[in-house]
Amino acid sequence: MKYKRLTKEQLEELHPEFINFLATQSITAEEWSALKQEKPDVAEDEIDVFCDLIWEGVLSKVEYLENISERHMHLFHAAEKEMKLLSVQVKNPEIDLRTEVGFGWFKRNFQSDFVEYLTASKAYGDDKNVDKFEIIKQGGVITKGELYQWFEQIVNTD
């Protein structure tokens, strides 16, 4: 498996897509039931292939990722040829960026000496979707990029 198994809830939500996937494999509902009973390993492999296909579809559309912790923001832009990073570190130990109060403090003080910025970029490895998935595995979430774009204007990069 290239990525990770979707949760039971996610798989249930994607049930119609899974039926279509099985149909593309020429597997009928009756054959699927028999496969689960008689060859559970093969059935599990089919589910893994389906999960990887779903992840590939999602990851191929990802442009922005965010990983926000207590005092750090790592904002990623998955550009065409490289992954760009805007990193923010808050030096005020009383601030937690994950809270409304902490983020409000940051918005008011983003130009103070208590806030440091770093920008970087890195070429993708062999598979840019795997690179994106690694960020997700480390706690990153897919976003529309509003925060990244706002910061990009502040630090004037690109």
Whether the predicted pLDDT of 154 surpasses 80: no
Closest by Cα among 122, 97, 94, 117 to 107: 97
Whether the predicted pLDDT of 153 surpasses 90: no
Confidence category of residue 5, pLDDT binned at 50, 70, 90: very high
Q: Measure the CA–CA gap between 107 and 64, rounded to whole angstroms.
A: 20
Distance separating the N- and C-terminal Cα atoms of the chain = 35
- Mean pLDDT confidence for 15-24: 94
Confidence category of residue 157, pLDDT binned at 50, 70, 90: very low
Q: Report domain extents, the chain.
A: 8-61, 64-155
Residue 7: left if φ>0, alpha if ψ -120 to 50, beta else—which one? beta
- Mean pLDDT confidence for 100-127: 92
Q: What does pTM read for this prediction?
A: 0.85
Closest by Cα among 97, 92, 82, 80 to 151: 97
